[in-house]
């Protein structure tokens, strides 16, 4: 039963990543369709963060109140359906509106599937969280690779997104049947409707914030960076997202063994050095191959950090759903805002300057790695 549940959970992560990768790789098409510059796209990309920040505080209560299998299935189906939204608007205000819904759906689905992953990890009695997030990256790779092909063929993103949403929705329905039914203990206190991060969650969440900021920046801006700043083709730009996802996936599948050997804090410090090197290559390199290498190194460096953060939050005292929602609110909420922040900086200065900020946060991630030592070693 646990083996089947582990496969099902891996499937949910892969589907979530596929939706994200599909959207990220077609951002140049969306920008052209709406007719916005880097600055306008940056404003639009702030909106998923707004939606996530509004919705994520509710996630802890949802996880407490409803059966986790049913909740994960419903929220993942909504997330698949939300992929259709970003390709529809032809104006910036409408794009901003639909991206709020898109971000809210992403956030609550993410908390539910991570809460289920914590249950699986607890029942197995060993670290498997990095592997689950590896499947998220694999899904991102699959989504962005198909998107690269769609971009090369000149396929309208509205058709591409609709077809992808249907396929991923069917995969979700099949996979969710093997998820574990799970409810909290009957005497457990129900979290408040809007759960703010606790003192224990905050330092863990801040480590996650730095990693997710860099991850969101790479996913949402690597394609635009390669195309606009370096003159790469649309297909090469989309392929950059795929390479970023490959680097993360391969690292995450090896991550659990590395963490068991080195411990969480040392692993994150080494990872931060790798990611920082990649960010500096992106900033200082002036060619497409160097940029692709830099984004790949960023992917390797940040890959294991988010799984460690969620695992640490799930083991804290108190309702796991609330603690995971707190970490997600800090990390993913800020991460979803990250692309908009980078777009604003890119509009005022350049996208190169934007990635200087990413480098600074990666350095801070390494410096703050000690927050995970006692929680997830």
Mean pLDDT of 62-77: 89
Quick one: pLDDT at residue 328?
75
Angle value at C-alpha 320, between 317 and 325, nearest 5 degrees: 120
Write down the pLDDT at residue 164.
97
* Contact predicate 30/157, CB 8 Å: yes
Nearest to 343, CA basis, from 211, 237, 216, 207? 216
Cα distances (Å, whole numbers) of residue 51 to 42, 47, 54, 242, 327: 15, 6, 5, 26, 16
- 252-302: pLDDT as tens digits: 998 888 888 888 889 999 999 999 999 999 999 889 999 999 999 999 999
Q: Is the pLDDT of residue 194 over 70?
A: no
pLDDT value of position 318: 64
CA distance 18 to 113: 14
Query: What is the per-residue pLDDT for 185?
Result: 58
Determine if residue 283 is left, alpha or beta; phi over 0 gives left, psi from -120 to 50 gives alpha, anything else beta.
alpha
Would you list the DSSP string of 43-57?
HHTTHHHHHHHHHHH
Specify the pLDDT at position 376.
41
Is 196 a residue whose pLDDT tops 60? no
Band the pLDDT of 377: cuts 50, 70, 90.
very low
Question: How far is residue 257's CA from residue 114's CA, in Å, rounded to a whole number?
Answer: 20
Top CATH class, 2-181+196-376: mainly alpha
pLDDT at 375 > cutoff 50: no
Q: Round the average pLDDT of the chain to a whole number and report it.
A: 85
Residues in CB range of 84: below 8 A, 6 or more apart: 158, 161, 162, 165
Q: How confident is the model at residue 198 (pLDDT cuts 50, 70, 90)?
A: low
Coil/strand/helix, residue 190: coil
Q: pLDDT of 28-69, one tens digit each?
A: 899 999 998 877 888 888 888 788 878 877 777 787 788 889
For the chain, counts of helices (H) and of strands (E): 16, 0
The SS3 call for residue 177 is coil
Cα radius of gyration rounded to whole Å, the chain:
19
User: Taking Cα atoms as reference points, which of 364, 236, 368, 369 lies closest to residue 295?
Assistant: 236
Average pLDDT in the 208-213 region? 90
Measured between alpha carbons, how far is 260 from 265 in angstroms, rounded to an integer?
11
Percent of the chain predicted with pLDDT > 90: 39
What pLDDT sits at residue 21? 87
* Structure token digits, residue 199: 């003192």
Tell me which residue of 160, 69, 161, 178 sits closest to 115, measured CA to CA: 69
pLDDT of residue 320: 59
Consecutive H or E run containing 331:
helix 320-348
State how far the Cα of 4 lies from the Cα of 12, in Å rounded to an integer.
Answer: 13
What pLDDT, on a 0 to 100 scale, did the predictor assign at position 321? 63
pLDDT digit string, tens, across residues 88-139: 999 999 999 999 999 999 989 988 998 899 888 888 877 788 889 889 888 9
Length of the chain: 377
> Is residue 374's pLDDT more than 80?
no
pLDDT tens-digit readout, 343-361? 888 888 888 898 999 999 9
Q: Which residue has the higher pLDDT, 205 or 358?
A: 358
- Res 373: pLDDT: 66
| % of the chain exceeding 70 in pLDDT | 91
Instruction: Return the structure tokens found at 85.
Output: 């939204």
């Amino acid at each position: 039963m646990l083996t089947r549940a582990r496969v099902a959970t891996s499937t949910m992560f892969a589907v979530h990543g596929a939706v994200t990768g599909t959207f990220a790789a077609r951002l140049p098409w969306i920008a052209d369709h709406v007719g916005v510059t880097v600055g306008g796209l940056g404003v639009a990309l702030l909106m998923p963060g707004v939606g996530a920040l509004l919705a994520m505080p509710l996630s802890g209560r949802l996880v407490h109140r409803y059966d986790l299998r049913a909740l994960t299935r419903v929220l993942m189906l909504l997330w698949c359906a939300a992929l259709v939204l970003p390709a529809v608007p032809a104006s910036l205000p409408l794009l901003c509106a639909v991206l709020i819904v898109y971000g809210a759906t992403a956030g609550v689905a993410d908390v539910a599937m991570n809460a289920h992953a914590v249950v699986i990890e607890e029942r197995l009695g060993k670290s498997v969280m990095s592997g689950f997030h590896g499947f998220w990256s694999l899904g991102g790779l699959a989504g962005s690779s198909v998107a690269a092909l769609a971009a090369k063929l000149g396929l309208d993103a509205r058709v591409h997104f609709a077809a992808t949403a249907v396929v991923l929705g069917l995969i979700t329905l099949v996979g969710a049947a093997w998820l574990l039914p799970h409810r909290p203990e009957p005497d457990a206190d129900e979290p408040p409707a809007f759960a703010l991060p606790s003192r224990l969650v905050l330092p863990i969440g801040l480590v996650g914030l730095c990693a997710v900021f860099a991850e969101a920046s790479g996913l949402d801006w690597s394609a635009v960076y390669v195309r606009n700043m370096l003159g790469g083709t649309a297909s090469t730009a989309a392929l950059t997202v795929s390479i970023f996802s490959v680097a993360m996936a391969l690292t995450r599948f090896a991550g659990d063994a590395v963490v068991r050997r080195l411990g969480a804090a040392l692993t994150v410090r080494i990872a931060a050095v790798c990611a920082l090197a990649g960010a500096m290559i992106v900033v200082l390199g002036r060619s497409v191959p160097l940029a692709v290498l830099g984004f790949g190194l960023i992917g390797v460096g940040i890959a294991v950090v988010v799984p460690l953060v969620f695992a640490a939050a799930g083991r804290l005292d108190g309702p796991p759903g609330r603690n995971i929602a707190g970490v997600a609110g800090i990390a993913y909420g800020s991460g979803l805002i990250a692309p908009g922040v980078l777009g604003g900086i890119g509009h005022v200065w350049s996208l190169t300057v934007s990635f200087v900020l990413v480098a600074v946060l990666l350095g801070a991630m390494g410096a703050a790695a000690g927050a995970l030592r006692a929680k997830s070693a």
